[in-house]
Structure 1
Amino acid sequence: MSLLAKRDALTETSGIAGILPALAALGTRSRGWRRWLMAVAAGAVGALAMPPFGFLPALVLSLVPAIWLLDGAMKEGSSRWAPLKVAALLGWFWGFGYFVAGLWWLGAAFLVEADQFAWAMPFGVLGLPALLAFFPAFGFALARLLWLPDARRILAFAFGLTVAEWLRGHLFTGFPWNSPGMALGQNLWLMQSASLVGLYGLTFLSFCIGAAPAVLLTGQTARARWTAPALAAAMLVGLAGFGFWRVPVEASATVPDVRLRIMQPNLPQDAKFNPRNRDAIMRHYLSLSARPGPNGAAPTHIIWPESAFPFLLHRDPASLAQIGALLESGSVLITGAARMDDPLPGEAVGKFYNAIQVVDDRGTILGSYDKVHLVPFGEYLPKVLDTLIRAVGLRQFVHIPGGFEPAEKRMTLAIPGLPPVAATICYEAIFPGEILSDGPRPDLILNVTNDAWFGETPGPYQHFAQARLRAVEEGLPLVRAANTGISAIVDPFGRIVEELPLSVEGTLNTTLPVVEPATVYSKSGKFSLTVTLVICLMLLVVRRGPHSTFP
């Protein structure tokens, strides 16, 4: 459609009732660079539905144009596979806009040591989104493969994009950050359905609800126009109603004889890992942790954040003695700390692990949890890449030869005076269904992290929101200690009991909420998602009429 024809379509109508159909026509008939630009813009708008903004209508403003653009790909080109290629390109451009707008804050990490890493900033800010965009590219192509000319194309879209999101969360170690289900997963009432279907179930629902209004302007009859949006509205009301019913009015009961003190030191990243600051850092930690608590009651458990020290705590008797002197009789310290195994014969150094260590009032390390799910390019590099960048005088982010080693499997952490603990370090908390280890169910999630890399950007807010959703999925309270924030206690319903905001120094003195019974998701989360997708697929492939769009 020419620009003149588009102008005529707009001038022949008046008011909102005329402009909206013209916008739908603009999406379905756009070609060339205008099509790709519209896809990028639509994806970027969708990032406003993510934390910390939480603007739910942005989901509609992002997904509705995506439906119209895919409508326009129905009869593209002369080849029977051309529409799929166009759909994949649309998905890539949409995903690129979404991930750049939602993950731009990753660039802050490259400026912490700008002399070493500023050159790589474009690769993080643009390169990672360019790679991640291949997942929605696949999702758009899969949706196009199942496309129908009626309202069922909303289901095709939700099916294709949910499969793509599941793959993004699992392939190549996985990266489910800002999955669109978080649009529903940050509101207290709406997030409760995660106890039934988890993050990926919320993602499917988000796609259905956000895309449904597209048929208001493309349906041929009143029924065709209003059925899907009405069902989406009813679904949203139903989710809120379930959440209102599930969240109790009264506060959660607390575990007796447990008094937690979470220490948030708010250290800048460039100071935190400088060995020259080791003594000053230790004094800062000890001073904050020794402040009097409410009613003069001493804490039973003090919690420090991830990688708290620019040295190996377990090989520093003086620091362990200082910790022992800090603690009251019978109390313990739980802290993030790097640790190193003894080197094997023929090795110069042992293997390093990102760990949580438990120290008693005698300065003895009682137990340790080693991180399983490491951050690619942040905590480790494939050995070939590590050797290559060192050969040209560069290094990876972590100041450790060869980076960290992953633990072989997730382990429940035993801590005196606490029920069994599901320990997570940093971004391990963003992976739904991977919080618990095999064996008896724990009674709380412990997350220690250091988000100082990302300053006062949306990153720390997004990280906390995802950790909070794990509490709802599993029916477990969350205890979170973050270097610069957000540190918090969250009950099993996702309610924030206590919180220290971002970039604030201080301590939280609080109790531990009791665990809730295992949720439906905790028992059968993966099964429920599979059933949902199978039913959706059956609705799409059964009774396909003459307008079936299989290539």
Structure 2
Amino acid sequence: MPVLLTLAMALVAGLLMALGFAPYNQPWAPLLGLAVLFSLTAMAPGKGRVAAYGYLFGLGYAGLGVYWIYISIADFGGGPLAAALATSTLIAAFALIPMVALLLGRFAGRQSSSIMVLAALPFAWVAIEWLRSWFLTGATWLSVGYSQIDTPLSVWAPVLGVYGPSLAIALMAGGLAWWFLKPLSLRFIWPVALAAVFLVTGVVLDRPWSQPSGAPLQVALIQGNVPQDQKWRPEQRADILGRYMQHTRAAFGHDLIIWPETAVPAIYHQVAEDWLEPLARDASQAGSALVVGAPIADPAGDGLFNGIVAVSDSPQFYYKRHLVPFGEYVPLRDFAGGLFDFIGAPLGDFNAGTSATPLSVAGHQIGASICYEVTFGAELLDGLPDAEILLNVSNDAWFGESAAPWQHLQMARMRALETARPMLRATNTGVSAIIDQQGQIQAQTGLFEESVLQGQVVPHTGGTPYMRWSDWPIAIGSLLGLLIAGSGRRRGYRLFHDV
């Protein structure tokens, strides 16, 4: 096969991967994309070609998957030039991830091309997905398992987290690649058998992992749709607060009323006494609890936090624990100085919170997260099993009308499915949503519309296997799979013939 054709195939396979995620929602595409990539890797004449395949695949994968980084920086940061430089740099860095996975799988399966595609490459792919979830503060965006949220493979999420569906797709892609390498054989039976095993096992796993712990709560999520370029202007503060207060008063009588991330366009204590506390007292008299997103100056003088406040005479606070690098703080700021100012990095840093203790609101325990935090499944477990409802507040105005808000919602749905807890997602510009304990959307808003999303949520208690095990079974299992794949031929195990 001509070299240029195989290189082009690797790039197209990466583009296919990105089509599996929202808003494209083509769950078959990652299966085919990985199968093509694995088969190219098995046929590659050397490590250099494998690296080229992995890198081109990564460019297509990230280029279509996270192109919206350009919008964030161009419109709200350092402008088009800075956006082009930063986006191309980040995509180029992301492309190293699949390259490393392929090189690792190629090395582990070097004794047998069959073992390489059937085991070494799938386990290497998932091991690297897990590694990138925490390495250098972590990045979980575009993990393959998210693309399967609406397929039968999603039943593996409450057991193994998002990496359960990832492993299923990677193993089936390996089986499909094995057939690609010798399409005139009966090898097609293998990917079909693998799919059947996962689907039949899934029938056993398809069960309720939690139980209702109370009557349904009536909720109202207020989507203010405040433009990002107006949000922090002092002259707009009264109008923005007035908008939220008007919607809040119209929603009195709901058990829970929620404002999105940093909906309060000021430091919390600057507006609490005159605006928020009187509103919360009126809400309480109407039978409603008020929860708002706001920047919070710590009373102990420990700095500024991105927070959530259950407003009352004795307010409860949650401080965001996992901050966005270069968005909410600049790593090594003292060393880097103003190096990152050109991309619109913050002039000052938020501090990171340390507690995941749920908020006690409306008679129930609510596990809080802010924006980017909802993409880290293992971290959301810190507030469980006590939390009966999950809450995520966010401001996705930075992303414009791109794929990012829909991808973000897809990840929030996965957190609900992993923990068997309903999720309330309140955003400034969309997509706000009420998600049930099975990860299904019960109600949602559109993008860039001012609205109040009303509905009900049923608190749940109980635990999933993932809540107990976190990512450790996947991490340990993937590493063991690589070791076994690497030693299989030397021990004389010849279950499959090479190409």
1:334 paired residue number = 291
Residue matched to 1:310: 265
Query: 1:285 corresponds to which residue?
Result: 244
In structure 1, C-alpha distance between the alignment counterparts of 2:267 and 2:137, rounded to whole Å: 27
Q: How many correspondences in the alignment?
A: 489
The correspondence of residues 186-225 of structure 1 with structure 2, limited to 5 A, is 186-187=149-150, 189-219=152-182, 222-223=185-186, 225=187
State the Cα deviation string for residues 455-503 of structure 1 (Å, max 9, x = none): 2211011101101111111111111101111112212111222222322
Q: Deviations over 1:82-135 (max 9, x none)?
A: x33432332222112111110001211123336x43322123432112112222
Q: How far does residue 342 in structure 1 lie from its aligned partner after superposition?
A: 5.2
Listed one character per residue, the Cα deviations across residues 425-449 of structure 1 (whole Å, up to 9, x for unaligned) are 0010011211032676321211000
Higher mean alpha-carbon deviation, 310-319 vs 145-154, is at: 145-154
Does the 8 Å contact 2:62/2:95 carry over to 1?
A: yes
Q: Distance in 1 between matches of 2:166 and 2:183?
A: 28
Once the two structures are TM-superposed, the CA of residue 179 in structure 1 deviates from its matched residue by 0.5
Single out whichever of 45-54 and 151-160 deviates more from structure 2: 151-160
User: Match for 2:135: what amino acid?
Assistant: L
CA deviations on 1:491-534 (whole Å, 9 max, x unpaired) are 21112222223223211222221314201111123342145325
Unpaired segments ≥5 residues, structure 1: 1-25, 77-82, 345-349
Q: Does 1:111 align with 2:74?
A: yes
SS of equivalent residue, structure 1 residue 327:
helix
Change (3 A) 1:193 1:543: closer
Give, in whole Å, the separation in 2 of the partners of 1:315 and 1:455: 30
Q: Matched residue of 1:424: which SS?
A: strand
The aligned counterpart of 2:322 is 373
- Over the aligned positions, Cα root-mean-square deviation in angstroms equals 2.9
The match for 1:143 is 105
Out of 228, 242, 254, which is 2:190 matched to? Answer: 228
Q: 1:144 to 1:343 in 2, by over 3 A?
A: same
TM normalised by structure 2 equals 0.89
Cα deviation 1:369-405 (Å, max 9, x = unaligned): 1111000111110213663248xx757444xx42211
Q: 1:514 to 1:219 in 2, by over 3 A?
A: same
Displacement after TM superposition at 1:278 (Å):
0.6
Give the aligned partner of residue 181 of structure 1: 145
Contact 2:39 2:180 in 1 (8 A): no
Are the counterparts in 1 of residues 258 and 290 from structure 2 also a CA contact under 8 Å? Answer: yes
Looking at structure 1, the residues matched to 251 and 222 of structure 2 have their Cα atoms a distance apart, in angstroms, of 13
Q: Aligned in 2, Cα 1:547/1:523: closer, same or farther, shift over 3 Å?
A: closer
- Counterpart CA distance in 2 for 1:93 and 1:247 is 42
Q: Name the amino acid aligned to 2:134.
A: H
Q: Aligned runs of 1:67-466 on 2, under 5 Å?
A: 67-73=38-44, 76=45, 83-113=46-76, 116-147=78-109, 148-150=112-114, 153-184=117-148, 186-187=149-150, 189-219=152-182, 222-223=185-186, 225-235=187-197, 237-238=199-200, 241-242=203-204, 245-246=206-207, 255-256=214-215, 258-291=217-250, 298-316=253-271, 317-321=273-277, 323-324=279-280, 326-329=282-285, 331-341=288-298, 351-360=303-312, 364=313, 366-382=315-331, 383-384=333-334, 387-389=337-339, 394=342, 396-398=344-346, 401-407=347-353, 409-437=354-382, 441-466=386-411
Q: Sequence identity, in percent?
A: 28
Task: Provide the TM-score with structure 1 as the length reference.
Answer: 0.81
Instruction: Report what 1:23 is aligned to.
Output: none
Aligned equivalents of 1:385, 1:266: Cα separation in 2: 37
Instruction: Supply the distance in 2 between the matched residues of 1:492 and 1:176 (Cα, whole angstroms).
Output: 21
TM-superposition CA deviations, 1:14-51 (whole Å, max 9, x none):
xxxxxxxxxxxx3xxx43x5543332221122100111
Q: Deviations over 1:342-369 (max 9, x none)?
A: 586xxxxx61110001112xxx351111
Give every structure 1 segment of 4 or more consecutive aligned residues whose post-TM-superposition deviation is greater than 6 Å.
none
> What amino acid does structure 2 have at the position aligned with 1:44?
L
Name the larger-Rg structure. 1
Distance in 2 between residues matched to 1:292 and 1:311, nearest whole Å:
23
